[in-house]
Structure 1
Amino acid sequence: MFRPENAPPQGDLPELHVVFQSGKLVTDMRSTELCLLEGQLTRILGWQVRRRQFIGLWGEKPVFAVEIDERDELDPLQFASGSLYQLLGRVDEQLFAAAGRAAQLLDWERDHQFCGRCGGAMHTDLAERAMRCPPCGTTLYPRIAPCIITLVTRGDELLLARNANFPGPMYSTLAGFIEAGESAEETLRREVREEVGVEVDQLQYFQSQAWPFPNQLMLGFYAEYASGEITPDRTEIADAQWFHYTDLPAIPPASSVAGQLIRHYVASRHP
């Protein structure tokens, strides 16, 4: 239902807004779509829009990411504000994609107000989705950080790890950023080796997912165990173990590519 676009449609169409305030997503607790607010609501409540980015279409309605003034009051009986994480598992992938795109574009505009080359003020070119510096000609487009995320398997067993920064006992797949000059496959082998000390082969691409925390593109892979003993690095990885597919710990939700990798593999072992 959500279709990313760069230019809004012609005509005076009713708008939908994904609203942020002080970096937090505003949700309407009375709405089934939570973060998609009717555009007229923003005007009726008198919220002051400080930034505005067109992000695409929801059906035929144009959707805009808007950042409202930090002093605007939110009715606690109708609205809540919080992290994008609050949407995981609560909304479908299309709605999450819209909210994630909105967050990334507002963050990009906010973080590039001045040119890193000459210090001049940047101007927004909404037609091309770019920030431009008139004095020196520098042009900046939204930046995406590519990452690999992989499920390492050994027959009926899955290698899952608990990140040292996870607040709870959840175990997930391994992931890491692609460094300059690396291919995705090289990154995968390096990250698995660095994080848990094992070697892998038989890499197979699964699917990708935009991950707006803050601007990542997750490239999902399967990899088969080749050799080595699990040795968590203890910096990023607090614990890592082999788990039989019938006896898994708490895992990420199905809305994440990590959760999809795990569930897809389990389904393939137990059709």
Structure 2
Amino acid sequence: MVEPNRRPSKDEPAWWFIVSAGEIWLTEQQHVPFGELQQMSFPDLADDVVMFIGELRERHCYLIIADYKDSRFEGGEFVPLRELLSHGDDELFAMAGSASQIAHFIQTHRFCGQCGSRMDWVDWELAAHCPRCQHRCYPRISPCVIVAIEKHGQILLAQGKRHKTGRYSILAGFVETGESLEQAAHREVMEEAGIEITDLRYRFSQPWPFPHSLMMGYTARWKSGELHIDPHELVTGDWFAFDELPEIPPPGTIARELIDTLINDRSAADE
């Protein structure tokens, strides 16, 4: 449970998640800092936001919100949060993702969106409260659907305009107001690829802190239609044989897990 007003003691071994503008500070060894506060080479944090955000491996975790590219922190650097994916530590990445989302919430809710007054922080939960008009805000979570689609032993992969050059992934999109998750999945696939799907099956979900999404993972089968890739969202897309895949998302991402799930399902069906 996040406790906004809980401060660390100087001799408490803890994890320190230092966030600045969506990036996280890592030591020169590319580690999230861990140790007693009095032993850390941190600047004076008296005027910084320091917040207890949970536990990792039976040790407390604290968020420190730093200024943009804060030069007061020495012996390391701020890096994009995605770089932690390559470390292969899912628990650490999940906690870092929580820290990033909480920092984003705090930095974007300093003032009331209803009357413009400065917000107060609630003591017992992660929420911002306006003392003037009583408006209360909680961290935003944006639901998304992501779908791995199979057709006769092939998988649909596309290259998004925001993807790393050369990397392909599966289709995904945000849930719109008034939609169910299933309706969103069918709509997104039709809009981005021009096809109908069937046998839509929920598999698993993943928090995705870029900046505050919750990905709902599905698999499905092609039902009808020819591919018509949306040029506004995608660069290219096609059906690929499972044993001839292009560059795909790395392990630790829900896209990769869904791709692997389809491959495993196909292998089991062929046995």
Provide the rounded CA distance (Å) in 2 between the counterparts of 1:111 and 1:150. 31
Residue ranges of structure 2 left out of the alignment (5+ in a row) = none
State the Cα distance separating 1:119 from its structure 2 match. 0.8
Counterpart residue number, 2:2: 6
- Please say if 1:67 is aligned against 2:65: yes
Alignment deviations for residues 69-101 of structure 1 (CA, whole Å, 9 cap, x no partner): 4554343xx412111011122231111100000
Counterpart residue number, 1:25: 24
Whether the 8 Å CA contact 2:7–2:51 is kept in 1: the answer is no
Counterpart residue number, 1:16: 15
Alignment deviations for residues 226-250 of structure 1 (CA, whole Å, 9 cap, x no partner): 0000010111011110001011000
Change (3 A) 1:39 1:65: farther
What is the number of residues matched between the two proteins? 263
Equivalence map 1:92-111=2 (5 Å):
92-111=89-108
Whether the 8 Å CA contact 1:148–1:178 is kept in 2: the answer is yes
User: SS of 1:270's equivalent?
Assistant: helix
Change (3 A) 1:19 1:255: same
Provide the rounded CA distance (Å) in 2 between the counterparts of 1:47 and 1:267. 52
User: SS of 1:248's equivalent?
Assistant: coil
TM-score normalised by L of structure 1: 0.90
Equivalence map 1:162-201=2 (5 Å):
162-201=159-198
- Please say if 1:135 is aligned against 2:136: no
- Please say if 1:252 is aligned against 2:249: yes
Whether the 8 Å CA contact 2:43–2:73 is kept in 1: the answer is no
What amino acid does structure 1 have at the position aligned with 2:95? Answer: A
Whether the 8 Å CA contact 1:17–1:39 is kept in 2: the answer is no
Of 63-72 and 200-209, deviating more is: 63-72
Whether the 8 Å CA contact 1:152–1:225 is kept in 2: the answer is yes
What amino acid does structure 2 have at the position aligned with 1:220? Answer: G
State the Cα distance separating 1:35 from its structure 2 match. 2.0
Equivalent residue in structure 2 for 1:265, among 262, 266, 269: 262
Counterpart residue number, 1:84: 81
State the Cα distance separating 1:10 from its structure 2 match. 11
Whether the 8 Å CA contact 2:156–2:237 is kept in 1: the answer is yes
Equivalent residue in structure 2 for 1:53, among 48, 51, 54: 51
Provide the rounded CA distance (Å) in 1 between the counterparts of 2:51 and 2:253. 25
Provide the rounded CA distance (Å) in 2 between the counterparts of 1:46 and 1:74. 7
Change (3 A) 1:7 1:101: same
Of 62-71 and 212-221, deviating more is: 62-71
What amino acid does structure 2 have at the position aligned with 1:149? Answer: I
Provide the rounded CA distance (Å) in 1 between the counterparts of 2:36 and 2:139. 25
State the Cα distance separating 1:268 from its structure 2 match. 2.7
Provide the rounded CA distance (Å) in 1 between the counterparts of 2:246 and 2:72. 41
State the Cα distance separating 1:266 from its structure 2 match. 1.4
Aligned-residue CA RMSD (Å): 2.1
Change (3 A) 1:39 1:234: farther
Change (3 A) 1:242 1:140: same
State the Cα distance separating 1:11 from its structure 2 match. 9.4
Provide the rounded CA distance (Å) in 2 between the counterparts of 1:147 and 1:116. 24
State the Cα distance separating 1:187 from its structure 2 match. 0.2
State the Cα distance separating 1:39 from its structure 2 match. 4.7
State the Cα distance separating 1:217 from its structure 2 match. 0.1
Change (3 A) 1:147 1:121: same
Whether the 8 Å CA contact 1:164–1:234 is kept in 2: the answer is no
Change (3 A) 1:260 1:23: closer
Provide the rounded CA distance (Å) in 2 between the counterparts of 1:42 and 1:177. 44
